[in-house]
Amino acid sequence: MTNTKATAKPVDLAGELGEELYSNLLTLDQAQTALRVSKYTLGKMIKAGEITTVKLGSRKYIGKGTLTAFIAKAVQGSQNGTSPS
Protein backbone atom coordinates (compact mmCIF):
# COMPACT_ATOMS: atom_id res chain seq x y z
CA MET A 1 0.00 0.00 0.00
CA THR A 2 1.40 3.38 -1.01
CA ASN A 3 1.29 6.37 1.31
CA THR A 4 -0.33 9.15 -0.74
CA LYS A 5 -0.87 11.59 2.10
CA ALA A 6 -0.87 15.14 0.72
CA THR A 7 1.26 17.72 2.42
CA ALA A 8 0.19 21.32 2.57
CA LYS A 9 2.58 23.94 1.32
CA PRO A 10 3.29 26.74 3.80
CA VAL A 11 1.84 30.13 2.93
CA ASP A 12 4.32 32.98 2.75
CA LEU A 13 2.49 35.75 4.63
CA ALA A 14 5.45 38.07 4.20
CA GLY A 15 4.94 38.15 0.45
CA GLU A 16 2.28 39.49 -1.86
CA LEU A 17 -0.47 37.21 -0.53
CA GLY A 18 0.20 38.33 3.05
CA GLU A 19 0.05 41.98 2.09
CA GLU A 20 -3.28 41.42 0.32
CA LEU A 21 -4.75 39.52 3.28
CA TYR A 22 -3.64 42.08 5.86
CA SER A 23 -4.78 45.00 3.69
CA ASN A 24 -8.34 43.72 4.20
CA LEU A 25 -8.02 43.69 7.99
CA LEU A 26 -8.26 46.51 10.49
CA THR A 27 -6.83 46.52 13.99
CA LEU A 28 -9.34 47.16 16.75
CA ASP A 29 -7.92 50.68 17.12
CA GLN A 30 -8.41 51.34 13.40
CA ALA A 31 -11.98 50.01 13.52
CA GLN A 32 -12.69 52.14 16.59
CA THR A 33 -11.45 55.22 14.75
CA ALA A 34 -13.42 54.35 11.59
CA LEU A 35 -16.65 53.92 13.58
CA ARG A 36 -15.87 56.90 15.83
CA VAL A 37 -16.72 54.93 18.96
CA SER A 38 -14.87 54.27 22.21
CA LYS A 39 -12.93 51.08 22.93
CA TYR A 40 -15.66 50.19 25.42
CA THR A 41 -18.43 50.58 22.81
CA LEU A 42 -16.50 48.56 20.22
CA GLY A 43 -15.96 45.85 22.82
CA LYS A 44 -19.69 45.78 23.57
CA MET A 45 -20.47 45.45 19.83
CA ILE A 46 -18.03 42.55 19.52
CA LYS A 47 -19.34 40.84 22.66
CA ALA A 48 -22.94 41.22 21.44
CA GLY A 49 -22.00 39.59 18.12
CA GLU A 50 -22.77 42.71 16.09
CA ILE A 51 -19.19 42.74 14.75
CA THR A 52 -17.04 39.64 14.33
CA THR A 53 -13.30 39.53 14.79
CA VAL A 54 -10.49 37.41 13.37
CA LYS A 55 -7.73 36.34 15.74
CA LEU A 56 -4.25 35.91 14.30
CA GLY A 57 -1.78 34.93 16.96
CA SER A 58 -2.52 37.10 19.95
CA ARG A 59 -4.03 39.98 17.96
CA LYS A 60 -7.63 40.54 16.91
CA TYR A 61 -8.65 42.14 13.65
CA ILE A 62 -11.89 43.14 11.98
CA GLY A 63 -12.33 42.56 8.26
CA LYS A 64 -13.08 45.64 6.18
CA GLY A 65 -16.03 43.76 4.65
CA THR A 66 -17.40 43.02 8.12
CA LEU A 67 -17.18 46.68 9.06
CA THR A 68 -18.76 47.77 5.77
CA ALA A 69 -21.65 45.33 6.26
CA PHE A 70 -22.18 46.54 9.83
CA ILE A 71 -22.30 50.17 8.69
CA ALA A 72 -24.71 49.34 5.84
CA LYS A 73 -26.98 47.49 8.27
CA ALA A 74 -26.84 50.41 10.71
CA VAL A 75 -27.72 52.90 7.96
CA GLN A 76 -30.58 50.72 6.75
CA GLY A 77 -31.81 50.30 10.33
CA SER A 78 -31.73 54.03 10.96
CA GLN A 79 -33.76 54.61 7.82
CA ASN A 80 -36.31 52.03 9.00
CA GLY A 81 -36.23 53.25 12.60
CA THR A 82 -34.58 50.09 14.01
CA SER A 83 -31.22 49.40 15.67
CA PRO A 84 -28.37 47.66 13.77
CA SER A 85 -28.34 44.49 15.90
Higher pLDDT, 40 or 57: 40
Three-state SS across the chain?
CCCCCCCCCCCCCCCHHHHHHHHCEEEHHHHHHHHCCCHHHHHHHHHCCCCCCEEECCEEEEEHHHHHHHHHHHHHHHHHCCCCC
Q: Is the pLDDT of residue 69 over 80?
A: yes
Which pLDDT score is estimated for 4?
59
* Tens digits of residue pLDDT in 26-42: 999 999 999 999 999 99
Q: Is the pLDDT of residue 84 over 80?
A: no
Q: What is the mean pLDDT of residues 10-29?
A: 74
Domains of the chain, first to last? 16-80 (1.10.10)
Which pLDDT score is estimated for 9?
59
